[in-house]
Amino acid sequence: MTLTDLVTFRPTPPTLATEPDHVGIAGLPLNLVAAAPPQTLHGELFDHDVSVRFTPHHFTWTYGDGTTSTTTTPGRSWTQRGDAQFTPTPTSHVYAERGTYTAAVTVSYSPVVTFDTGQTQAVAGYVTSTSAEQSLRILEARTALVAYTCTEDPTGPGC
């Protein structure tokens, strides 16, 4: 059995979330998190009822700035990790310049077929599914030394 035999079985596309929500700061990590749980699809193959289980194997992140990376984790939010905002994660990315970028994630799933006879067969290779593209706005942060905080002087520079 090969991947071409599974052409009618397609996992649902993953979803992509970012922290902060579709907005980042140039030079600081933007956290990307994919939702891609294992999936089981049912159908017919070779005149047998089958279940095909798709388990995420790896994630290829496309950041929209000409770079990509591949991880074995879908990522987790900073809160789930117990991290402060802008902490680097295995799935975060640092954009060098401000601008608008389009990010996506492609999940490579390992398929395993279970026939109505009870026989199970792993299929060599991966079935891929790509998220919808997400538009990201990367801003530039500027800082300045001031005498008082915005709480102390709400009319001060930058407040």
Q: For 136-152, how does the pLDDT look when each residue is reduced to its tens digit (9 = 90+)?
A: 999 998 777 888 888 89
- Could you confirm whether domain 3-139 is CATH 2.60.40.10? yes
Instruction: Write down the pLDDT at residue 26.
Output: 96
pTM of the entire predicted model: 0.86
pLDDT, average across residues 34-40: 98
All structural domains of the chain with their residue ranges? 3-139
Structure tokens at 139: 């801003």
Sequence-ordered strand ranges (E) for 12-155: 15-19, 23-25, 29-35, 39-45, 48-62, 68-71, 92-94, 99-115, 120-122, 127-130, 134-139
Q: Nearest-CA neighbor of 19 among 96, 142, 103, 98?
A: 103
